[in-house]
Amino acid sequence: MLKELWAKVSAREKFVVYGAAVTVVAWLVGVILATKSYGGGSLAGIAIPGYSINFFTNYHGMDLGLLAMLAALVVVAVIYLRYAPNMNITWPAPVATILLGAAAVSVVCSALMFLLQLTSGVGVGDWPIFAWVAVIGMLVGGIAMAWFSYQEFVAAKTAV
């Protein structure tokens, strides 16, 4: 069934879905792998516990990142519902406009995450590499969603 739906999706919308997938995977990478451990070891035979901190969840990865990831999921849901069989949805706005709006939310939240990560007091070199991979991946996925949904928006406007 998904193969039949995927065949109906336009080339621009396929790239929007790819951007959404990159955004979701990058968010998961940040939540799962962007951890750094500090301390630990022993001193004079006494064990000193260390601690770990997930930079992505502590520095706006859960609020802005979750919002960007949810906007990406909205994009995928709208595209699915547009082509799903037995779905007669009266959309409140043209589908291209809804896609563009959700993609814009995702790219703005991702860009804010990137700027907040750059300007945090932690220091650029102290961030774990997976935090950078996650934020840059979310930004790239959001930009891809926004660009191709904009292309779909322009194509829908010129077709009218």
Query: What is the pTM for the complete model shown?
Result: 0.85
Per-residue pLDDT band at 92 (split at 50, 70, 90):
very high
Task: Give tens-digit pLDDT for 25-63.
Answer: 999 998 888 877 777 777 777 777 777 777 777 766 678
- Which residues contact residue 13 at a Cβ distance below 8 angstroms, ignoring those fewer than 6 apart? 79, 99, 148, 152
Q: What is the pLDDT of residues 99-131, one digit of tens each?
A: 999 999 999 999 998 888 888 766 666 778 888
CA-to-CA distance for 106 and 71, rounded, in angstroms?
Answer: 6
Predicted pLDDT at 115: 87
What is the rounded CA–CA span in Å between residue 1 and residue 84? 9
Domain boundaries, the chain: 2-159
